[in-house]
Amino acid sequence: MLDLKNISNQFDARLSAIKSYDSERSELTQEYRRELEKIKVIDTGLNAQLPTYSGAKLLEPGKLIHPFTYNWKNRHEAMEWVDSKLCGVAVGAVDGSQIYSDKNYEMPIAVLQTSRIFNRHTGDYEQETEASIITPDEFEEANVYSFGSEYIDARRFSMECDGIIRLMKEHENIYVLLDGALILSHINVLNRNIREIYIKAMTKLLEALENTRAPVIGFIDTTMPRDITLMMHFLFGLKKSKLADTHLFSHLLWGERTAAFLCDRDDRRGEEAKSVLDNYGRFKSQIAFFYMRVSNGLPARVEFPAWVYERGELDKIADIIRAECVIRGNYPDILMRAHEAALIRMNEHTLFYGMLENFCKAHGIKINKSAKNFHKTINR
């Protein structure tokens, strides 16, 4: 049981440190916002002043903030607008879930499950779920720790990318939403063999996008990149900070978005190392993004191939995201549908391990279980 009294005492003892962090962030936000006024109207010629690994490059000239002019009086009016934007538009989504291998069962076997959702918003709706297991030989072949999460997470991401490619091949003119980023900075801290699974999956996806020209839209609800703040450091001589981009735009109204930027993230771990985008080959400078307010929290980040901007589809994908968020309430409906379909619930974890035990028993396979796990189970 969590020692709530001790935690409460810790909060009181560390109040000054927490308040200091909040105050410093607030001051930085105001400083950076004042400088942001200098690019209220974007001139892409400023890119000539930016070095490599500048965080971001200016992509979409014109207004920095793109307003959203609709002001519905009620839910009915909002849904009429949603219908006008989504009716007949093919939208897809992919998400995944997993059961990690459990060392309490000695034998490393994991489960992956992905769901694919297709909705044309005219009654044409499809939902497919696919499950797969990872067996001990696969962990060994990958040369990874069998009871860790990193390899399983990488395999899940690869399955999700395959699901997106399948949706694009099955449905023309589809817009596919991915619950997560296209710029995979977190993989820079992973072992090379696991990192390569992500890179292979992402480059395979980007190659498929080139051929089908189907926009894939990465939607990141909670995100802390510092791409634009780093760009501002180079443009305006601001002191480097850990201020997240989202705080620059926390004053956006619902539905408003920023202009689009090209990502040039500096997530190198040492100047001689590669950034994650360096691993994307010819797609290194081809991932763009904007921020958009679609909830009561900080703005979400939306990532997409740069050719989506070049093809004049930014307003289209912004409207798709807005409309999907109106349906569900502050989060894209189709992503929630994919999540709900893919989710492996806790009682299903128990069912899986029961299946594993029965399978091993039926085939004379010895499986040893942890004594601690036995006691934890009977005390639930």
Query: Residue 115: is its pLDDT beyond 90?
Result: yes
- Specify whether 234 is located in the same domain as 138: yes
Mean pLDDT confidence for 109-117: 95
Query: Residue 276: is its pLDDT beyond 60?
Result: yes
Query: Residue 105: is its pLDDT beyond 90?
Result: no
Query: Residue 290: is its pLDDT beyond 90?
Result: yes
123 φ, ψ (degrees, to nearest 5): 95, -10
Task: Report pLDDT for 359.
Answer: 87
Mean pLDDT confidence for 117-129: 91
Question: Which among 205, 102, 207, 100 is positioned nearest to 156, based on CA atoms?
Answer: 100
Q: What is the DSSP string of 293-345?
A: --SSSSPEEEEEEHHHHHTT-HHHHHHHHHHHHHHHTSS-HHHHHHHHHH---
Task: Report pLDDT for 375.
Answer: 45
Number of domains within the chain: 2
How confident is residue 368, by pLDDT bands cut at 50, 70 and 90? confident
Task: Report pLDDT for 178.
Answer: 94
Highest mean pLDDT among 21-25, 75-79, 345-349: 75-79
- Specify whether 67 is located in the same domain as 51: yes
Residue 109 CA to residue 353 CA, distance in Å, equals 10
How confident is residue 377, by pLDDT bands cut at 50, 70 and 90? low
Q: What is the rounded (10 degree) CA torsion for 70, 72, 77, 78?
A: 70
Residues in CB range of 159: below 8 A, 6 or more apart:
96, 112, 114, 130, 132
Task: Report pLDDT for 21.
Answer: 67
Query: Residue 79: is its pLDDT beyond 60?
Result: yes
- Specify whether 277 is located in the same domain as 369: no
Task: Report pLDDT for 29.
Answer: 83
Query: Residue 370: is its pLDDT beyond 80?
Result: no
Which range (180-184, 317-321, 346-350) has the least confidence? 346-350
For residue 14, being part of any structural domain is answered with: no
Strand residue runs (E) in 29-152? 41-42, 55-58, 62-63, 65-66, 90-99, 110-119, 125-134
How confident is residue 81, by pLDDT bands cut at 50, 70 and 90? very high
For residue 15, being part of any structural domain is answered with: no
Q: Report helix angle 15-36 to 4-13, nearest 10.
A: 60
- Specify whether 357 is located in the same domain as 309: no
Task: Report pLDDT for 282.
Answer: 93
- Specify whether 314 is located in the same domain as 359: no
For residue 16, being part of any structural domain is answered with: no
For residue 25, being part of any structural domain is answered with: no
Residue 254 CA to residue 318 CA, distance in Å, equals 12
Residues in CB range of 8: below 8 A, 6 or more apart:
none
Question: Which among 300, 241, 183, 195 is positioned nearest to 21, based on CA atoms?
Answer: 241
- Specify whether 185 is located in the same domain as 169: yes
Domain that holds residue 241: 30-343
**Helix (DSSP H) and strand (DSSP E) numbers for the chain:** 13, 13
For residue 34, being part of any structural domain is answered with: yes
Average confidence score pLDDT of the chain: 90
For residue 18, being part of any structural domain is answered with: no
How confident is residue 14, by pLDDT bands cut at 50, 70 and 90? confident
Task: Report pLDDT for 255.
Answer: 95
Task: Report pLDDT for 147.
Answer: 87
Task: Report pLDDT for 374.
Answer: 47
Whether 202 and 208 have beta carbons less than 8 Å apart is answered as: no
Query: Residue 330: is its pLDDT beyond 80?
Result: yes
How confident is residue 97, by pLDDT bands cut at 50, 70 and 90? very high
- Specify whether 377 is located in the same domain as 324: no
- Specify whether 321 is located in the same domain as 363: no
- Specify whether 362 is located in the same domain as 252: no
DSSP character at residue 113? E
Backbone conformation region of residue 191, classed left if phi is above 0, alpha if psi is from -120 to 50, else beta: beta
Task: Report pLDDT for 26.
Answer: 77
Percentage of the residues of the chain whose pLDDT score is greater than 90: 66
- Specify whether 240 is located in the same domain as 354: no
- Specify whether 272 is located in the same domain as 377: no
293 φ, ψ (degrees, to nearest 5): -90, 115
Question: Which among 369, 255, 286, 232 is positioned nearest to 59, based on CA atoms?
Answer: 286
How confident is residue 373, by pLDDT bands cut at 50, 70 and 90? low
Question: Which among 133, 154, 157, 156 is positioned nearest to 144, based on CA atoms?
Answer: 154
DSSP character at residue 225? -
Query: Residue 258: is its pLDDT beyond 70?
Result: yes
Task: Report pLDDT for 19.
Answer: 73
For residue 20, being part of any structural domain is answered with: no
For residue 13, being part of any structural domain is answered with: no
CA angle at residue 182 from 145 to 197, to 5 degrees? 30
- Specify whether 333 is located in the same domain as 359: no
Mean pLDDT confidence for 211-225: 89
Question: Which among 149, 162, 154, 95 is positioned nearest to 342, based on CA atoms?
Answer: 95
Percentage of the residues of the chain whose pLDDT score is greater than 70: 95
Helices marked H in 213-252: 227-236, 245-248
